[in-house]
Structure formats: C-alpha cells, structure tokens
C-alpha cells in the first residue's frame, strides 16, 4: 500500500511541476481528519518512503499538514487554506477529507489514501478512469463486498443468526456500507444488531451491549475512529 500511495503522489507531483525550475522546492498539502495511531503510522510510512526516493523535507519538498482533530466540519476551511497556500498536490485520508478537497479545488491534483467505494461518493467517474483532478486507493472494490463477507460468515458458521455491526454513524463511508449490508443479511437470515462507536470512550459500552443482546458474531465497518482502537484493544470478541 505504501508503494502505490507513493507512486500516485510522485505522478501527481511530477504532472503539476513539469514547467517549474528543477531547483524549486515543491509544496505538498496533507489534509487529515484525525491523528489516531493507525492513521499516523500510515502517514509516517509515506514520509519515510518519500525520503528513500530522495524527496527531503525542507530541501526538495515542504509538507503542509492540516488536521481536523476529529471535527469533520473543519475540513472545508482547512482544504481551502491549502489551496490558498498554492500547494502542488493535496494528499488526503479517508472520504471526509477527500470530499472537502474536491469541493475546494478542481485544479490542484488530489490523491486519496483509502476511500471505500469512491465511485459511490462521486469522487471519481469509475475505478479504471477516475477523471478530473482526483485519484487514489480504495479500501474495497465496492459495497458489494459487504454481502460477500456475510456469505463467508454464514458458510463458516451456518447457525449464526445474530450479528453485531460495529460502526461509526458520523462517518459517511460507514453509512453507505450499512445500507449495503441490510439486504444481503435479510436474504441470509441474519439479524443485524447495530452498535455505534463514536469514540474510544464508547468501546466498553459497545461490547457490553453486544453481550447483552447475545450477538453471535461481530462485523466491523471500519473508519478512522474504529481503526484507531485496534492497537489498544487487540482481543478477539
């Protein structure tokens, strides 16, 4: 993943800087929703790979980081701030920063790191030919994968009838995934028990609710908030 992200960035940067002098220091914008550990590790790997390729911060590149500290409403203004700084490419995290960057500019190249079904969110025209000024990596080939995962669960545990869905309702990508999972669950005879996780403080309560409702399996719809809990809570439910 680090290799492909770096490749996409280098392509976008080289495209926007063709007419510039070789000695010019290129400016990169970085827009993120949160600095949770899992996200921070991804960005640290990105910076490391750039250095390995000869892009040195303060010498050949400058990275302007903008973090929303978990507050999605701050993203549009932060995206506009990066545009005003005249960055040559904007690297964004999941769907919320990607949508904010797309709304802020149609000229500056945008590279997203991990968006579930970017076609559904209108970020790209299709996966083969994204179109416009935005491209990147998708974490899934589409919401249809949710149904396939439930089918696999049913094959492995044929008697499962109650599955807890751990999700963050504040995440737009999670909302799309939740909608896509309801129909296949009904056809498989699986009752879904939706359990919300809006922050790390909700984790113990979420698992207590699953236990109280006697869930037989757990299906996690990933998001930055939930992904940030993996390192802290490695146990299997």
8/88 same-domain check = yes
Alpha-carbon separation of residue 223 from 2, 94, 163, 170, 187 (angstroms) = 19, 8, 19, 10, 26
pLDDT of residue 143: 62
Indicate whether 223 belongs to any domain: yes
pLDDT of residue 232: 45
Q: Which domain holds residue 214?
A: 144-227
Indicate whether 235 belongs to any domain: no
Indicate whether 172 belongs to any domain: yes
pLDDT of residue 78: 97
118/11 same-domain check = yes
Indicate whether 236 belongs to any domain: no
Indicate whether 201 belongs to any domain: yes
CA distance linking residue 171 with residue 38, whole number of Å: 16
pLDDT of residue 30: 92
Backbone CA torsion sign across 160, 212, 208, 143:
positive
pLDDT of residue 100: 95
Whichever domain contains 187, its CATH number is: 3.40.50.2300
Of 107, 136, 165, at which residue does a domain stop? 136
Considering its fold, how many domains does the chain have in total? 2
Q: How many CB atoms lie within 10 A of CB 5?
A: 21
- Written as one string, the DSSP assignment of 55-97 is --BTTTEEEEEEE-TT-GGGHHHHHHHHHHTT-SEEEE-SHHH
Of 74, 109, 136, at which residue does a domain stop? 136
Indicate whether 234 belongs to any domain: no
21/126 same-domain check = yes
130/173 same-domain check = no
82/165 same-domain check = no
Structure tokens at 153: 């669960």
pLDDT of residue 176: 79
pLDDT of residue 61: 92
12/126 same-domain check = yes
Note down pLDDT in tens along the chain; length 237 residues.
554 555 455 556 555 555 555 557 899 999 988 776 566 677 788 888 888 988 888 889 999 999 998 888 999 999 999 999 999 999 997 788 999 999 999 999 999 987 777 887 888 887 778 889 999 887 665 566 788 889 999 999 999 999 999 998 888 778 878 888 888 899 999 999 999 988 778 888 999 999 999 999 999 887 777 766 655 443 333
pLDDT of residue 29: 95
87/157 same-domain check = no
pTM over 0.95: no
By the 10 Å C-beta count (0-12 exposed, 13-18 middle, 19+ buried), 175 is classed as middle
By the 10 Å C-beta count (0-12 exposed, 13-18 middle, 19+ buried), 36 is classed as buried
């Amino acid at each position: 993943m680090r290799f492909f992200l770096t490749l996409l960035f280098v392509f976008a940067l080289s495209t926007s800087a063709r007419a510039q002098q070789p000695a010019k220091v290129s400016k990169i914008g970085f827009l993120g929703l949160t600095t949770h550990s899992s996200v921070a590790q991804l960005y640290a790997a990105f910076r490391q790979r750039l250095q390995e390729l000869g892009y040195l911060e303060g010498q050949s590149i400058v990275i302007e980081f903008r973090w929303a500290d978990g507050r999605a409403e701050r993203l549009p203004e932060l995206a506009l701030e990066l545009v005003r700084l005249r960055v040559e490419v904007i690297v964004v995290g999941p769907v919320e920063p990607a949508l904010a960057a797309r709304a802020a500019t149609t000229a500056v190249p945008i590279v997203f790191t991990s968006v579930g079904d970017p076609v559904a969110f209108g970020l790209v025209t299709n996966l083969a030919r994204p179109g416009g000024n935005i491209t990147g990596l998708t974490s899934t080939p589409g919401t249809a994968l949710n149904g396939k995962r439930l089918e696999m669960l049913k094959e492995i545990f044929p008697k499962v009838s109650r599955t807890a869905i751990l999700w963050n309702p504040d995440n737009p990508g999670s909302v799309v995934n939740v909608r896509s999972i309801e129909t296949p669950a009904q056809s498989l005879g699986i009752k879904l028990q939706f359990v919300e996780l809006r922050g790390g403080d909700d984790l113990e309560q979420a698992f207590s609710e699953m236990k109280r409702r006697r869930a037989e399996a757990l299906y996690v719809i990933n998001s930055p908030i939930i992904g940030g809990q993996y390192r802290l809570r490695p146990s299997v439910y």
